[in-house]
Structure formats: C-alpha cells, structure tokens
Amino acid sequence: MSEKRPRLQKRKSNPLDRWSIEDAADLYGVDRWGKDIFAIDENGNVVMCAGGKRIDLKSLTDEIRLRGLELPVLIRFRDILRHRFSVIHSAFGKAIEEHAYQGSFRPVYPIKVNQHRHIVEDIVTLGAEFHHGLEAGSKPELLIAIAYHRDPEAIIVCNGFKDREYVDSALLAQRLGQKVFLVVEKLAELGLILDRARAIKVEPLLGVRMKLSSRGRGQWESSSGDKSKFGLQAREILEAIFILRRRRMLDRLQLLHMHIGSQITDIQRFKQAAREACCIFREVSRLGAPINYIDVGGGMAVDYDGSRTNFPSSANYGPEEYAADIVDAVTNVCREASLPHPNIVIEAGRALVAHHSLLVVEALSSSDIENGLAPPPMPKKPHEVLVRMNEIVEGITAKNFQEAYHDAKQARQDALTLFNHGHLSLEDRAGVETGFRAACNRIVRHVRRLDYAPDDLAGLESILASTYFCNYSLFQSIPDHWAIKQLFPVMPLCRLDEKPTANAVLADITCDSDGVMDQFVDLRDVRHTLPLHPLKKGEPYYIGIFLIGAYQEILGDLHNLFGDTTVVHVSSTDGGYVIDKTIGGDTVMEVLAYVQFTRDGINAKLRDRVEEALRRGSLTLDQSAVLTRRFERMLDSDTYLAAD
C-alpha cells in the first residue's frame, strides 16, 4: 500500500531572523522521528499527515477544548495505526516476495504493550485484512485475546507463566475455532499442559520458548541470554521432545518462540539471535517435531530520536531491513536442511502502536526569572562579594569567558557560605544570584560559537534553562522518561514559524522534584533543554509529547493521585477529521477509590469536620454550604488543573 505524503508549501525565511519552518523541522527532528506521520505546515503548526491526510494539531486541540474537554489530552490517531500496519506488513510482504518464501507472515500483537480496550478493538479491526493475531502473557490478557480474536487464519500465542486455569482456558478456546498456541516457558509447564489436554480432550497446539545465548542490547537485554528467566535451554528442549515422544504427542509441537528483549537497537543482535533460533529449528525438526511456526518475538525498535543509530532511543535499522534479515535467516536454514518454509510470527508491539498516541499538554507558566523580574535594587553598601560578582560580569570577553565562569562560580559559592554564616544580607545574596545569571548569559553566547564546549561549560545551558510548568504528570503519562530516562520526541504544536528563544525543561504538576522532563532528543546526543517560545498572555501554548503509544499508559502510576488523562480517538476524513471516541479521564472520586476511599466515607468525615467547626464558631453556615458543595463537585471533577 503506497501512501502519498501531503505537499507542504515552503515558507520563505524571514531575512531578519533567518528562521523558517524548515529550521524548526530540523531543530525538533520531526522529519526524522515523525517521517510520513507528522510534519510542520506553512502556518507553523504541527500536522498529522499519515495516509496522505492532514490534521492540524493546534486547531484539533483548540476544538477539543471547545467541546469542554480539559488538557492534558491523549490523542490516538487511527490513520497512524493503519499506517504502521501497512509499514510492517509491506516490509514482510516485500521480503517474502524477494525470497520466494512459501510460508505466511502471521504476526501477533502483544496485548501487554497497551491493553486498553479501544486499542485492542482497533488492532483486531485494522489487522483483520493481514491476519494479525494476539499475544497474551497473563490470565487477564488471555481472556481479552479469547474474547476479541475472531480470525481462524490468525493465531493466539500464549506466553508467560501458566497455571491450570490459564491452560484450561487456552485449550478450550480452541473449541471456539481459534488457533491457540501454548508456549512452554518452563519445562514443568509441559506436564501440566499435556495432563489438562488429556483431561479435557483437546489436542493442544504447543510451542517452546528457546533460551538463546544471543543477547539483545539495551534496557531490556536481560530478557535474553543464558541467565534470562524465560525459556528452555538446549538440554531442556531435548527433554521436552523426549516427553512428547513418550506420550506420542510430538506432532503437537509446532511452534518455536524466541524473544531477546524490547527496543533492540542493533540489527546485528537480531541477526545473531535469528541464526541461533533457526539452527534450533533445524535440530528440533530433525528430531521429528513438525514445526510450522517460527516466532521471533518482539523487540523491533522505534527510532524515537530519529538518529537511526544503535543509541538506546533509536534503531540502526527500519522495518524493511528487519523483515529482510528475518526472512533471510529462515530461508537459509530451510535451504541448508531441506525443510519446508514455516510461517513467520513476530510479536512487534512497540513498533506497531508507539507512533499513534500523542499527549498534548499546556504550558501554564514559566520560571523565566530574567523576563519576569527586574534586577534587585543595589544595597547602599554592597558587600565585597557582590561588588566582585558585578566586576566579573562587566569584564567578560571572548578571551577570558572560561576563567570568568570559574570566578563567577566561586563568587556565588562564597556568597552562599557568607549567607549561611549570617554575614550576608538577603539583598546582597539576591544581587549575587542575579549577577551570576547575567554572567552565565554572557558566557553562554561565547560558548555557542565554539565547535566543542569545554566539559566544565557544557552544563551552562541547563543552569540557564527556564522551567515551563505544564499541566501533566510525568509519572502517569510518560513513566519511562522518569524511570529509565527513555527519550520521547517533544515539541511545540504551534508558532514553529517563529524562532524559539527560550531553553526549557518541562516540570509537571506533581509535588515531586523528579517530575521534570529534562532530556530531549537530539541527532547527535541528548539535549538537556528544549527550545521553546516565550509564553504570551492569553494565548495557549501547546506542547506535544510524541510516540507514547507503547507501554506508557499501562505503566503510568497515580503519583499524587493524578489519574488517567482524557483520551480522544481521531480519524481523518476527506475534508478534515472526526472524533471517533472520547474517553473521560479519571475523576477525583475514581482515583480515591483506587486507594480504598469511598464517597460516603469521605463525605461523612467532611461532615464531622464541618459540624465541629460550626460548633466552635470558626465556620459560618454560609461557608459550610460553599465548602460542602465544592467538596462534592470536586469529587466528580478531573484530577488535573482546570482552565479558569
């Protein structure tokens, strides 16, 4: 399926500030990490452009708000999901054609990546034409798979540790006309599965997870290798074959499974693992198991930073190369061992769903001290340390800026020590801090002209960074940024025809100093600040946090009791877009219920407090009425900050 990219008109650079939307695209890397799905239009707004359509994200957000929905809002684009299906299936289609491969491509969606019902429904619907199946790793996920899977050509893969209930349900699901593979993760599971299959008289479809020596690379590399907690080693695979032979059930072993981790950034790791897995396939086939599915697991990486490298937030390959290497590895081993081509299964989760979700947050205010506050008045008799700081600032030149930086830091440190010993006034301290900032501002101009910044000056941009306070919770919406410093593309959705002049970090509204996004994608390295525009009074400034469709929603937590955000599902139409679904965010009462508070219980406690205060006379009857009504209203409101 070929997709036409909308033609975006080029806007001429303004010769005065030499800034164009091409500069913005380059700065934020949108043409790299957002290739074919996001772009900047001639008005300087970000547009969703998958499938040749075009939706202006600034206008979309404005219109979402006009409907009475509050930010932050998570927007899921069906066009992008469709596009990702097409990218992955076209890649395998091409590889299969080029290798004259006889088997079929039968991918499954690992439900764990994003279990939300609306996503599972979309996956099942959009994946139907490709026979895209489902993968479950637990009992709840298995129930989702059984209930939602409809296609007898597609498969269900059951991974994860299993008990009798899990096994029975998977076996019985076969009676619904579904192809359900039970993948043996530990040898002990095999006996359980065989016993239950005999007891309920179902011929099981069996798979074995291979414990490969080849390892993935990156954050999740412990999912593979000899020490990984899943899978059977060579000796155990042999034992499984002996058991199956003894029980005359070797013909039920039809699938081999591997998974070397998520976000595998280096294609070499896949090549090595696929080769090892194919050799096991050759041997298991030689020993008599009719393997007709090879499942290479998940791990296809997302190029979050657009650098196309083996950096943890990137990938040095794309779906086409991945597909070609997998098909090539299986074809080669089949040729060498004269085996029929098995069907190829992949469990790509991240690569399928990450792109289609975007969080839109609003910057509420910024800490821009320089812009906001005038310098403090000079004390009548300024302290020596303040005089020294002012002299440093005045004396900064292209030749001495590094030395001046050291001197300014020393003066600031001296001032702090003096202050803590009671020898410096608050006015002097404020003057020194302002001077230090002025010095940094002057020095950074010199540093920016250098090809390489000396190590001790590299942190200057962070010192000068503004903090933009945004209405979101990092812990709820982008937990991997907090937990493992994973990078996600972030950029303003509008004003991209204007040069951004602030460098900022994005603080959330939790009461946790960790709730700050302070690492951003960069082509060569990691940026510690994000270029943004100064906020304008009365004009909303929307910032998009992109590619968050995989894992973030389900790993998110209720830190400070900020709950799920509002979600809207959007599809393009010929002339614009439609909002297919709106899913309200958690209300205050809903998050309170997660932590075992009940409405009646909390209302009763309030009433007691109010009555006590009325008796004491510290609250009037009118005030008690206002407080009670407000309390009741708040229980049903959103957990995030409401617009006035």
Which range touches ligand PLP (CB under 6 A), out of 28-36, 86-94, 342-350, 395-403?
A: 342-350
Q: From residue 388 to residue 427, what is the string marking binding to ligand PLP with x (rule CB under 6 A)?
A: ----------------------------------------
Which range touches ligand PLP (CB under 6 A), out of 297-305, 313-321, 326-334, 535-543?
A: 297-305
Can residue 486 be called a binding residue for ligand PLP (CB under 6 A)?
A: no
Residue with structure tokens 């190369």? 321
Neighbouring C-beta atoms of residue 352, cutoff 10 Å = 30
Rounded to the nearest 10°, the torsion over CA 59, 62, 65, 66 is -90
Can residue 32 be called a binding residue for ligand PLP (CB under 6 A)?
A: no
Contacts 24+ apart (CB under 8 A), 21-30: 21/496, 21/497, 23/499, 24/496, 24/497, 24/500, 25/496, 27/500, 27/531, 28/489, 28/491, 28/496, 29/305, 29/306, 29/489, 29/521, 29/522, 29/523, 30/489, 30/491
Can residue 106 be called a binding residue for ligand PLP (CB under 6 A)?
A: no
CB of 109 or CB of 542, closer to ligand PLP: 109
User: Would you say the C-alpha torsion 245, 248, 254, 255 has a positive or negative sign?
Assistant: negative
**Contact pick of 29, 51, 110, 231 for ligand PLP (by CB under 6 A):** 110
Neighbouring C-beta atoms of residue 418, cutoff 10 Å = 18
Window 146-165: residues binding ligand PLP (CB under 6 A): 159
Rounded to the nearest 10°, the torsion over CA 3, 4, 8, 10 is 110
CB-based contact 562:476 (threshold 8 Å): yes
Q: Cα(223)–Cα(216) distance, rounded to whole angstroms? A: 8
Q: How far apart are CB 5 and ligand PLP at their closest, in Å? A: 26
CB-based contact 288:250 (threshold 8 Å): yes
Q: How far apart are CB 295 and ligand PLP at their closest, in Å? A: 9
CB of 40 or CB of 302, closer to ligand PLP: 302
Which range touches ligand PLP (CB under 6 A), out of 67-75, 256-264, 266-274, 357-365?
A: 256-264
Window 513-552: residues binding ligand PLP (CB under 6 A): 550
Window 345-364: residues binding ligand PLP (CB under 6 A): 347-351
Number of residues that bind ligand PLP (CB under 6 A): 17
Which range touches ligand PLP (CB under 6 A), out of 341-349, 567-575, 588-596, 612-620?
A: 341-349
Residue with structure tokens 């310098």? 375
- For the chain, state the CA radius of gyration: 29
**Contact pick of 78, 259, 388, 569 for ligand PLP (by CB under 6 A):** 259
Residue with structure tokens 């900032």? 437
Q: How far apart are CB 201 and ligand PLP at their closest, in Å? A: 29
Can residue 262 be called a binding residue for ligand PLP (CB under 6 A)?
A: yes
For 489, counting Cβ atoms within 10 Å of its Cβ (0-12 exposed, 13-18 middle, 19+ buried), the class is buried
CB of 263 or CB of 566, closer to ligand PLP: 263
CB of 109 or CB of 405, closer to ligand PLP: 109
Which range touches ligand PLP (CB under 6 A), out of 145-153, 168-176, 258-266, 512-520?
A: 258-266
Neighbouring C-beta atoms of residue 613, cutoff 10 Å = 15
CB of 431 or CB of 549, closer to ligand PLP: 549
CB of 87 or CB of 300, closer to ligand PLP: 300
CB of 206 or CB of 550, closer to ligand PLP: 550
CB of 113 or CB of 535, closer to ligand PLP: 113
CB of 163 or CB of 611, closer to ligand PLP: 163
Residue among 354, 365, 359 nearest 564 (CA): 359
Q: How far apart are CB 354 and ligand PLP at their closest, in Å? A: 8
**3-class state of residue 71 by DSSP:** coil
**Contact pick of 218, 298, 312, 585 for ligand PLP (by CB under 6 A):** 298
Helices (H), 350-500: 350-353, 369-372, 384-394, 401-420, 426-448, 460-464, 474-477, 479-484
Q: How far apart are CB 346 and ligand PLP at their closest, in Å? A: 8
C-alpha distances in angstroms, 262 versus 31, 259, 266, 442, 551? 24, 8, 11, 44, 11
Which range touches ligand PLP (CB under 6 A), out of 241-249, 291-299, 442-450, 533-541?
A: 291-299
Helices (H), 149-186: 164-173
Q: Cα(150)–Cα(57) distance, rounded to whole angstroms? A: 34
**Contact pick of 204, 216, 297, 431 for ligand PLP (by CB under 6 A):** 297
CB-based contact 566:70 (threshold 8 Å): yes
Q: Cα(308)–Cα(501) distance, rounded to whole angstroms? A: 28
**Contact pick of 55, 64, 113, 502 for ligand PLP (by CB under 6 A):** 113
Can residue 489 be called a binding residue for ligand PLP (CB under 6 A)?
A: no
Q: Which residues bind ligand PLP (CB under 6 A)?
A: 110, 113, 135, 159, 259, 262-263, 297-300, 347-351, 550
